[in-house]
Amino acid sequence: MVANPTLLFPERADRAVRSGPAVSEKLLAVENVSLEYRTRERIVRATHEVSFDVYGGDRFVLLGPSGCGKSTLLKAVGGFIEPSSGTISLDGQIVRGPGADRIVVFQEFDQLPPWKTVLQNVAFPLRVAKKLARAEANERALHYLDKVGLAAFANAYPHTLSGGMKQRVAIARALAMQPRVLLMDEPFAALDALTRRKMQEELLRLWEEVNFTLLFVTHSIEEALIVGNRILLLSPHPGRVRAELNSHQYSHDSFGRNDFQRSVARIHRLLFEETEAAQ
Ligand code: ADP
Ligand code: MG
């Protein structure tokens, strides 16, 4: 057991080494958040007193084994679940429900209504939530579809697209809403390895081009190191903060390098030791 995780990773976040948005103020504050599900028989504690801060321009990753409460945490930030204790605040305001300032991209390919074209999928939430007129919504939708390389598919229906393309539409739809924080729950987990890698690269390129702040959930250590500039490592069920570390120095080019492999091994050890200790 590691009594004080911050001692393991004393280097704190010197963020945004990539040339993306300048990191600025604290956007999201998660403080001592415990999350529970009440089933008929018992109470399932999904996370225990989890705290972290996300700053403007961060690519903040929640990393941990399956069942450690990552999705539950993301849903709580999204305002869909209320903490049983602790607080979540965005721009200093306590989160009390869902809002257009936090948009989620999920793993599933079926998050796009199939009866709407690609353009309609992206434009519709802009008309409803942002009250944009049709022309303005379409214009903004096309702008973001272009950013993900899908402007040519604006009039296609989702079933004609590959899994990777559907995820690009979901990302364009989320970015078009210009949320304060973009929430992603294992968005590339259902893709084949090559597409997944390509999508990770695209996400980083988008982050450099478009000014956004990311809270990203994954159980893949490699993905966390590549996508994130900061990683919160969660222990197994119920999820507790195991460590927080910096990962801004890594990209796909880092894969074979010693320092990357050492970081992978170090995180593996933390997850593995914790799993053993829990059993
Ligand atoms: P992760 O996303 O890290 O895999 P989840 O947040 O989905 O983990 O789940 C955390 C824990 O909460 C797990 O033990 C899971 O079984 C439990 N859980 C998730 N959803 C529900 C639910 N609707 N009712 C009861 N327990 C749930
Ligand atoms: Mg999950």
pLDDT at 43: 95
Radius of gyration of the chain (CA): 19
Question: 10 Å Cβ neighbour count for 13?
Answer: 17
**Nearest to residue 146, comparing CAs of 110, 117, 181, 119?**
119
8 A C-beta contact, residue 172 and residue 148: yes
Ligand 1 touching residue 238 (CB < 6 A): no
* 53 has pLDDT over 50: yes
pLDDT at 130: 94
Least distant ligand from the CA of 238: 1
In a domain, 137, yes or no: yes
pLDDT at 5: 42
Confidence of residue 21 (pLDDT cuts 50, 70, 90): low
pLDDT at 67: 94
pLDDT at 2: 41
43-55, strands of its sheet edge to edge: 43-55, 26-38, 85-90, 93-94
- Out of 68, 72, 82, 274, mutate this one to test ligand 1's pocket (max ligand atoms within 8 Å of CB): namely 72
Mean confidence (pLDDT) of the chain: 90
* Closest Cα to atom 23 of ligand 1: 37
Question: 66: CA distance to ligand 1 center in Å?
Answer: 9
Confidence of residue 9 (pLDDT cuts 50, 70, 90): very low
What does the block give as tokens for 225? Answer: 């190191």
In a domain, 115, yes or no: yes
Least distant ligand from the CA of 34: 1
Where is pLDDT greater, at 101 or 18?
A: 101
Which residue bears the tokens 């990311």? 214
Domain residue limits at 169: 109-178
Which residue bears the tokens 């996400």? 203
State how far Cα 204 lies from the chain centre.
Answer: 12
pLDDT at 4: 42
Instruction: Kindly report, residue by residue over 110-119, the tens digit of the pLDDT.
Output: 999 999 999 9
pLDDT at 255: 82
In a domain, 100, yes or no: no
Count the domains in the chain: 1
Confidence of residue 184 (pLDDT cuts 50, 70, 90): very high
Instruction: Kindly report, residue by residue over 137-153, the tens digit of the pLDDT.
Output: 999 999 999 999 999 99
Ligand 1 touching residue 24 (CB < 6 A): no
pLDDT at 15: 39
**Nearest to residue 101, comparing CAs of 26, 192, 212, 177?**
177
8 A C-beta contact, residue 130 and residue 211: no
- Mean pLDDT, to the nearest integer, of 50-59? 97
Confidence of residue 252 (pLDDT cuts 50, 70, 90): confident
* Closest Cα to atom 12 of ligand 1: 46
In a domain, 79, yes or no: no
Non-local CB neighbours of 110 within 8 Å, separated by 6+ positions: none
Q: What is the pTM of this model?
A: 0.90
Non-local CB neighbours of 143 within 8 Å, separated by 6+ positions: 176
- The share of the chain scoring above pLDDT 70, in percent, equals 90
* 276 has pLDDT over 70: no
* Closest Cα to atom 15 of ligand 1: 67
102-105, strands of its sheet edge to edge: 102-105, 181-185, 214-218, 59-63, 230-234, 241-246
Where is pLDDT greater, at 103 or 24?
A: 103
In a domain, 261, yes or no: no
Confidence of residue 234 (pLDDT cuts 50, 70, 90): very high
* 206 has pLDDT over 60: yes
* Closest Cα to atom 24 of ligand 1: 37
d(CA 21, CA 183): 17
* 72 has pLDDT over 50: yes
Where is pLDDT greater, at 123 or 270?
A: 123
* 16 has pLDDT over 90: no
In 71-222, the DSSP E strands lie at 85-90, 93-94, 102-105, 181-185, 214-218
In a domain, 174, yes or no: yes
In a domain, 95, yes or no: no
pLDDT at 8: 41
* 266 has pLDDT over 60: yes
In a domain, 213, yes or no: no
